[in-house]
Amino acid sequence: MDKNLSFISLGGIGTVTRNMYVYEFGNEILLIDCGLGFADETMLGVDFLLPDISYLLKIVKEGKKIVGMLITHGHEDHMGALPFILPQLPHFPIYATSFTAALANEKLAQYNLPKVIQPYPFGKEITVGNFSGKFLYVTHSIPDTAHIVIKTPVGIFYHGSDFKFDLTPYDKKQTDFQGIGAVGAEGVRCLFSECLGSEREGYTLSEDSLTTPFEDEMRNCRGKFIVTTYSSNISRINQVTAIARKLHRKVGFVGRSLMKAVGVAREQGLIALKKDDEIPIESIRQYKDSELLLFVAGSQGQENSALTRIINGEHKNVQLRGDDVIVFSADPIPGNEMSIYALVDNLSKMGIRVLYSDISYHKFHVSGHGSSQELLQLMALVKPRYLLPISGTFRQMAAYKRLGKRFGYHESDILVPMSGQQVIFTQDGVHFGHKIPIRHVYVDEVSGEEIEHFVLRDRQKISQEGVIAIIIEVDEESGSLSGKPEVVAKGFATKDSQEIELFIPQVLENVFSRRKPVTDWQYLRKQVREAVEKKLFAEFKRRPLVLPVIIEI
């Protein structure tokens, strides 16, 4: 039997998202996390990316056994791929801390899958085959985040997923520093550490630094006070609603993802807001603007979000007025900058006070990820034999390596594998193993607010699905459709192509006949793409690549 432990990332090294890790020992496999990746602007017509489980399927087929999966926390890039991946794998036990398990089960239920994630307490060992795991509490931007101590016949490994060391967190729940130190004292072979903040010197600011700016702004606001943040940032929601209570504002939640996350958190006893202080969004007209705090989903400028619809004047319950204040209490996820700044610019044009991360004199968001000092602090507590950065781009991995060297590690003890490269821990050393191919695997959701359908596909098949380019002329000032759109369909039967070229102008008419013309081209492009995709799926059950080109005239 192979006496070594092999470690590999199925989401690829050199990326922040798509977290999924395989620990193999002998015949057994332990999995950590199962997260989505987010598409950027260059991935035309794609919604999400998945970890590539080809290698996993192969070794399972060859007779290896998945003994279990542990999930570190409830963010999409750590557990959002479960509904897509689990149906492809044999059954095995899955454990997570309480809130993480509740969110993940909720996610599975959305896709009509059984709620198989088992909640498990912090600090208690879970035995799965030859492995054992233990969740240690760390602070992050979502409750119940864990680092995982993994004991194996080849030694102890510390899976240090996303974290910060907030010494004054809003919910007073402190990182289990003593627990981490105790594991370190037992002797750790390798610390797998997140490295997103490795480029930033110093400590990441504590959440408590946000209380004063929020309170000052809310006190001075004479209209609605509107906050957008990640739906799962429960402590931020508690922090801001406490201020609202003090200043006699009622709280409303706008947007499905947000209401869902708050619902799950409430069941877990994590929401401090009293039921009396919350109002349903339909009844906000019964209150003066100055009596309202609204949390709105869509901090990343997503085209379907409540926030984008509110700003574009398309939301049925929430209309903006001049006295309103909007706070972006979240950093842009790389790739979303242009969508977010389009919203901020539109609000500025309307004369609405908008607060966001580039305004440096007040802070309305702090990162959930530790900076250099915290990454060094984790090294100092764990004192592992080897370091290996995970969940970061190549430049962040390189910055982490420099940190390790500053700490005193020898270059050869800081492992920076290539994407798909196995890292093999033997009884007395470590070396790189095979490099398996890690492909990009894409998921598209044909979606409105409801998930109606999803397509799991290889990018290879896109050209088989067809390509449709649509060239639209739009009046630059008014945002209205000008002239007849040009449609180019490729990869369809002639009859179908003709049909498509006929019905697309009608689909566009519908998009453009909405109440209010839009001059945000990104938003418009996405609306067009989505309307066309829906129609094509309805007609042909196909998902071609739709490329809308907007020409301003």
Kindly tell me which of 153 and 202 has the beta carbon lying closer to its own copies: 202
Stretch that binds its own copies, among 1-9, 290-298, 433-441, 502-510 (CB under 8 A): 433-441
Query: Any idea what DSSP says for residue 135?
Result: E
Binders of its own copies among residues 319 to 348 (CB under 8 A) are 334-335, 337-338, 341, 344-348
**β partners of residue 421:** 435
- The yes or no reply on residue 349 touching its own copies (CB under 8 A) is yes
Kindly tell me which of 130 and 419 has the beta carbon lying closer to its own copies: 419
CB of 526 vs its own copies, minimal distance in Å: 11
Kindly tell me which of 158 and 442 has the beta carbon lying closer to its own copies: 442
Please state at what angle helix 256-267 crosses helix 234-246, rounded to 10 degrees: 90
Helices (H), 221-274: 234-246, 256-267
Strands 441-447 and 5-9: unpaired
Contact pick of 57, 182, 185, 359 for its own copies (by CB under 8 A): 359
Contact pick of 245, 256, 383, 439 for its own copies (by CB under 8 A): 439
Whole-number Cα distances in Å, 266 to 33, 76, 114, 142, 232: 24, 19, 21, 14, 12
Other C-beta atoms within 10 Å of 264: how many?
22
Q: Cα(49)–Cα(36) distance, rounded to whole angstroms?
A: 6
Binders of its own copies among residues 471 to 500 (CB under 8 A) are 471, 473, 476-477, 486, 488, 490-491
Contact pick of 2, 3, 41, 321 for its own copies (by CB under 8 A): 41
Q: What type of residue is 148? A: I
Residue 175 burial (10 A CB sphere; 0-12, 13-18, 19+):
buried
Q: Cα(521)–Cα(474) distance, rounded to whole angstroms?
A: 9
Q: Cα(456)–Cα(442) distance, rounded to whole angstroms?
A: 6
- The yes or no reply on residue 216 touching its own copies (CB under 8 A) is no
- The yes or no reply on residue 410 touching its own copies (CB under 8 A) is no
Beta carbons of 420 and 426 less than 8 angstroms apart: no
Contact pick of 60, 116, 455, 547 for its own copies (by CB under 8 A): 547
Pick from 225, 145, 157: which is nearest to 191 by CA?
Answer: 157
Contact pick of 2, 3, 44, 502 for its own copies (by CB under 8 A): 44
Q: What type of residue is 297? A: A
Q: Which residues bind its own copies (CB under 8 A)?
A: 14, 40-42, 44, 199-202, 334-335, 337-338, 341, 344-349, 351, 353-354, 356, 358-361, 372, 393-395, 397-399, 418, 437, 439-440, 458-460, 462-463, 467, 469, 471, 473, 476-477, 486, 488, 490-491, 521-522, 525, 545, 547, 549, 551-553
